[in-house]
Structure 1
Amino acid sequence: MGADMGEKDMARRLMVLTVICYFIKIAEASGGGGSGWSRGHATFYGGSNAAPSTMGGACGYDNVYTAGYGVYTTALSSALFREGEACGACYELLCDSMSDRRWCRQGGRVVVSATNFCPSNDRGGWCNSPLQHFDKSLPAFTRIARYSSGIVPVLFRRVGCAKKGGVKFTVKGHSFFNLVLISNVGGNGVVKGVWVRGGRGGVWQAMHRNWGANWQNNSKLDGKPLSFRVMVEDGKMLTFNNVVPSNWRFGQTFATRLQFS
């Protein structure tokens, strides 16, 4: 009887110790505070160089390298993607070794940019709502887990996006249908609102999200220098005056020197 009680007491103590260690791990991962972290899962797609299968995607970044997102990218499940509103968001992920230590790389963590959508299906897929899932490029996945694992539990949180150079504007579409791709957005990373002005004395006109990171306006702006105002999700706004010269052509990309902090 006494031996049984001793074993039960030891089991309880081990359980308490495991829970304490788990929350210490989360606190250490977050720099001591432990706030802002959530649980999800991660898989991978594409090859070792994240191209060509991870190029393009639902956010519209045709080339993730020239758009400023590089090799560490991810597709988001519908619960995270929010119909394209999360394009450009940056997430820090680490493998949840307390849930499954067999496949995690010790101390591994990675910051990824949201560039694509992982769609739901009718077969109980990992990207079905309300699951919070990351389908990452292979280089990003193997920073935190072993290739052979296939899928791992993760801890994740939103973080700021560190970018080289300024915000980029790619003018697409045609006359009376201006489609502008906004990429390489730092700071919060997620574009919430865009306004365009044609000419130096023109009126600021609101643009509307067409899909992903593409914003549209139905005015005829051909032959005019273009300025943009961009607001990101945390409310910060920058004005890019005359970033596009009057002799612009559809399909051209224009880089700026301004960047969100």
Structure 2
Amino acid sequence: MARARLLAAWMLVVAASALAALAAADTAVNGSSSSPAPNGWLRAHATFYGGADGSGTMGGACGYRNLYSTGFGTRTAALSTALFNDGASCGQCYKIACDRKNADPRWCKPGVTVTITATNFCPPNYALPSDNGGWCNPPRPHFDMAQPAWEKIGVYHGGIIPVIYQRVPCVRKGGVRFTINGHDYFNLVLVANVAAAGSIKSMDVKGENSSDWMPMARNWGAQWHSLAYLNEQRLSFRVTNTDGQTLVFANVVPRGWKFGQTFATNLQFK
């Protein structure tokens, strides 16, 4: 009987140790912890892509194309489904740091933060489990960062690290920029270099031949379209960011504009 009681007690100890190991593994994978994230911060994970110069990050699901010429550089990231919000998060800024409480100290650079702009989408990979390759699978919040940005907070050979993050206002040089593509009766307008909220909630256009604003629709990412013939007209845009601030860019596009042109402004969100 005594031996049976000792064996049962030993089995309980083993079970408790196994549960503790599983809890630790869950923390390492999902960024969850019994202790809350620092005030104002949330937990996620981060990987990197695009090469040491960030050249492989050009383009992307927000439509910003060349991230150097649009002013974003290599401080960018692709967001997982949980954060991307079908493109509504394009242009938003996030401050990210390695989560020292949950990270392997070999791969974490403590005391350092980096601020990135959301410029791309990290698609889910349902062929892989979310704890082993399917990092961007819902419902995981995840940042697939440009390598130079990731290496500000992590050590290259780590590959993936737990992070803490918070959304922050975007700081931009110069005014908002509008790039017009499309063709007759279809104007596709990319809105870039947006400060403050960084992302756009709604947008309207008005040609010089009309006194009424025409609502535009999000086509994909940071690109908005209208279905009207606006060729050869001066164009104005009314833009509302996701924080609810509205700016009117009157006659920002001159007569004689051509598809493919970009028009910079002196007006910016604050």
Q: Give the shorter-chain TM-score range.
A: 0.7 to 0.9
Which residue of 2 is the match for residue 143 of structure 1?
A: 152
**2:125 is aligned with 1:110:** no
1:97 Cα deviation after fit: 1.1
Is 2:186 the counterpart of 1:177?
Answer: yes
CA offsets, 1:174-196, max 9 Å, x none? 01000000000000001000000
Report the Cα distance in structure 1 between the residues aligned to 2:183 and 2:210, rounded to whole angstroms: 22
Partner of 2:43: 39
Segments of structure 1 that go 5 or more residues without pairing to the other structure are: 1-21, 27-33
Aligned to 1:56: 59
Structure 1 residues 99-122: Cα deviation after superposition (integer angstroms, max 9, x where no partner): 112211121110000000000011
Match of 2:102 among 99, 104, 122: 99
Aligned residues: 230
Moved more, 102-111 or 196-205: 196-205
Partner of 1:243: 252
Change (3 A) 1:254 1:114: same
What per-residue deviation string (whole Å, max 9, x for no partner) do you get for residues 224-261 of structure 1? 00000110001001100000001100000000001111
Q: Distance in 2 between matches of 1:210 and 1:93?
A: 29
1:20-31 to structure 2, matched below 5 A, reads 26=38
1:200 Cα offset (Å): 6.4
Q: Does 1:211 pair with 2:220?
A: yes
Question: Are 2:169 and 1:160 equivalent residues in the alignment?
Answer: yes
Q: What residue number does 1:253 align with?
A: 262
In 1, Cα distance between the equivalents of 2:155 and 2:46? 12
**Structure 2 letter corresponding to 1:121:** N
Inter-partner Cα distance in structure 2 for 1:155 and 1:195: 36
Contact persistence 1:108–1:145 (CA under 8 A):
no
The one-letter code sitting in structure 2 at the alignment partner of 1:57 is G
Q: SS where residue 82 of structure 2 aligns?
A: helix
Larger displacement relative to structure 2 (137-146 or 63-72): 63-72
Question: Any idea what SS the aligned residue of 1:57 has?
Answer: coil
With 158-167 and 119-128 compared, the bigger mean Cα shift is at 119-128
Q: Which residue identity lines up with residue 74 of structure 2 in the other structure?
A: V
Q: What is the TM-score normalised by the length of structure 2?
A: 0.83
Equivalent in the alignment of 1:220: 229
Please tell me whether residue 66 in structure 1 is matched to residue 75 in structure 2.
Answer: no
Give the alignment's TM-score, normalised by structure 1. 0.86
Instruction: Please state whether the residue corresponding to 1:163 is helix, strand or coil.
Output: coil
Deviations, residues 13-44 of structure 1 (Å, cap 9, x unaligned): xxxxxxxxx77x83xxxxxxx22x11000000
Query: Is contact 1:49–1:139 with CA below 8 Å preserved after alignment?
Result: yes
Pairing 1:127–2:136 present: yes
SS at match of 1:80: helix
Structure 2 gap ranges (5+): 1-34
> Following TM superposition, by how much is the alpha carbon of 1:201 offset from its aligned partner in structure 2, in angstroms?
4.8
Q: Deviations over 1:192-223 (max 9, x none)?
A: 00000001653110000000000000000000
Question: For the residues of structure 2 that align with 1:208 and 1:201, how far apart are their CA atoms?
Answer: 19
| Runs of 4 or more above 4 Å deviation | none
Percent identity of paired positions between Structure 1 and Structure 2: 51
CA deviations 1:65-110 (Å, max 9, x no partner) are: 2222121000000000011110001000000011112211121110
CA RMSD of aligned residues (A): 1.2
Q: Take 1:198 and 1:68, find their aligned partners in 2: how far apart are those partners?
A: 28
Give the match for residue 81 of structure 1. 84
Decide which of 186, 196, 202 is 1:193's aligned counterpart.
202
